[in-house]
Amino acid sequence: MTLTTTKTHAVHGGTLRYLKHDSAATGTPMTLSVFVPPGEGPFPVLIWLSGLTCTEDNFTTKAGAYGAAAEHGVIIVAPDTSPRGEGVADDPAYDLGQGAGFYVDATQAPWAPHFRMETYVTDELIGLIDAEFPTTKVRSISGHSMGGHGALTLALRHPHLFRSVSAFAPIASPTRCPWGEKALGAYLGPDRTVWADHDATLLIEGGTGQGCFDDILIDQGDADPFLADQLKPELLQAAADAVGQRITLRIQPGYDHSYFFMASFVADHVGFHAARLKD
């Protein structure tokens, strides 16, 4: 695999690159952005997973994370949210298909040939970044909404890969909300026991990843229109309390689901991961 740089920007003393490559996991071209802080490195890595309808550009241009990343000496990697292109299955709705990969490996037609986002992130992307950039081969993961679901489930399912995990407004229990039921049913089929392997609340309840993370930082706005029906962080908190997993769930008054919310607290998340990445 070869990374091709499509754009480069100087920011906060570091370098931001937009890149593309042909993915073996998805069988499609994939795009991403990578911020490398000033200095020679090597640097630890924070992988950011975005939410429904997003590309790599939403976080890159709106989150305002690179000042904190430069201060703490952290590479930030932001991949696209799904495979795209001609011949890639799609759906007219915003919450399924292109832009809505849900960070699972699909097993059902017509999604299975390309929608393999779990393998893409945990295998291909990590290997590519470690091979092409000055990393310490130590990394953490974070994300927003669908990407918060992805960050939590991938960290819990692959704890050996990540030093820490955090999320903004994650879909905390996708087996119990309309977004998740639609996507998991389409990608994984009707067997809900298979869905449970991709539900952060149920993974924690079952002890997956137990003892691997000293804390999980979650920020949630109380003015988020999706809070009650789609996100349900109280289920995640209850599961964590039941098994003794520490979660710092911060309910932020007045904040919604937008990148204005993330931009307000992203420096806290970068600092949270930096402290654990450099232990």
Is the pLDDT reported for residue 6 higher than 70?
A: yes
pLDDT tens for 156-192 read 999 999 999 999 999 999 999 999 999 999 999 999 9
**Rounded (5°) CA angle 47-66-46:** 15
Q: Which listed residue (114, 257, 269, 273) is catalytic?
A: 257
Q: Is 145 a catalytic residue?
A: yes
User: What is the C-alpha separation between 219 and 233, in angstroms, rounded?
Assistant: 10
* Neighbour order of strands in the sheet with 4-11: 4-11, 14-22, 29-36, 75-79, 43-49, 135-143
Count the Cβ atoms, other than its own, within 10 Å of residue 3.
Answer: 17
User: What is the C-alpha separation between 245 and 187, in angstroms, rounded?
Assistant: 29
Q: Look at residue 224 in the predicted model and tell me its pLDDT.
A: 98
Q: Look at residue 160 in the predicted model and tell me its pLDDT.
A: 98
Give residue 87's region: left, alpha or beta (phi > 0; psi -120 to 50): left
Is the pLDDT reported for residue 127 higher than 70?
A: yes
Contact 180, 186 (CB under 8 A): no
Q: Look at residue 159 in the predicted model and tell me its pLDDT.
A: 98
Least Cα distance to 165 among 153, 145, 151 occurs for: 151
Q: Look at residue 2 in the predicted model and tell me its pLDDT.
A: 86
Q: Which listed residue (80, 199, 219, 224) is catalytic?
A: 224
Is the pLDDT reported for residue 1 higher than 70?
A: no
Q: Is 224 a catalytic residue?
A: yes
Is the pLDDT reported for residue 118 higher than 90?
A: yes
Residue with tokens 């669908």: 146
pLDDT tens for 24-50 read 999 999 999 999 999 999 999 999 999
If you average pLDDT over residues 65-74, what whole number do you get?
98
Cis ω on the peptide bond leading into residue 159 (within 30° of 0)? no
Kindly state the tokens that stand for 74: 């952290």
Is the pLDDT reported for residue 92 higher than 90?
A: yes
User: What is the C-alpha separation between 161 and 139, in angstroms, rounded?
Assistant: 7
Is residue 137 very low, low, confident or very high in pLDDT (cuts 50, 70, 90)?
very high
Q: Look at residue 238 in the predicted model and tell me its pLDDT.
A: 98
Contact 277, 44 (CB under 8 A): yes
Three-state secondary-structure class, residue 141: strand
Q: Is 256 a catalytic residue?
A: no
Q: Which listed residue (23, 50, 145, 166) is catalytic?
A: 145
Contact 81, 147 (CB under 8 A): yes
If you average pLDDT over residues 121-140, what whole number do you get?
98
pTM, whole model, 2 decimals? Answer: 0.97
